[in-house]
């Protein structure tokens, strides 16, 4: 079982990991499509990570709004 990231640094780290994983899943999806293989599983992996990223980004906004930027720094969101 994984723990839920709670600090801005943990959330940002999780976002970076998921963005990397999403890129790999999208590449796999493209490879499956190009080879005319079943893309259902690859497509579901992409959707799963996209949903997780959306939740992490929302969580980051909530933490930023409630706790401020803190010492973890990071870039300002527009």
The pLDDT tens digits for 49-76 are 999 999 999 999 999 998 865 545 555 5
Distances in Å between the Cα of 27 and the Cα atoms of 3, 32, 43, 49 are 28, 9, 11, 13
How confident is the model at residue 1, as a pLDDT? 56
Burial code (b: 16+ CB inside 10 Å, e: under 16) for 41-74 equals ebbebbeebeeebeebeebbeebbeeeeeeeeee
Q: Read off the pLDDT band of 4 (50, 70, 90).
A: confident
The pLDDT tens digits for 33-49 are 999 999 999 999 999 99
Query: 10 or 68: whose pLDDT is higher?
Result: 10
pTM metric for this prediction = 0.77
Backbone angles phi, psi at 14, to 5 degrees: -65, -40
- Sequence spans of domains, the chain: 8-64
């Amino acid at each position: 079982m994984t723990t839920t990231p709670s600090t801005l640094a943990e959330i940002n780290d999780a976002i970076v990991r998921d963005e990397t994983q999403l890129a790999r899943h999208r590449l796999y999806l493209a490879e499956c499509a190009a080879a005319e293989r079943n893309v259902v599983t690859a497509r579901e992996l992409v959707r799963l990570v996209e949903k997780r990223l959306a939740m992490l980004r929302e969580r980051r906004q909530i933490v930023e709004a409630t706790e401020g930027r803190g010492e973890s720094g990071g870039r300002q969101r527009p």
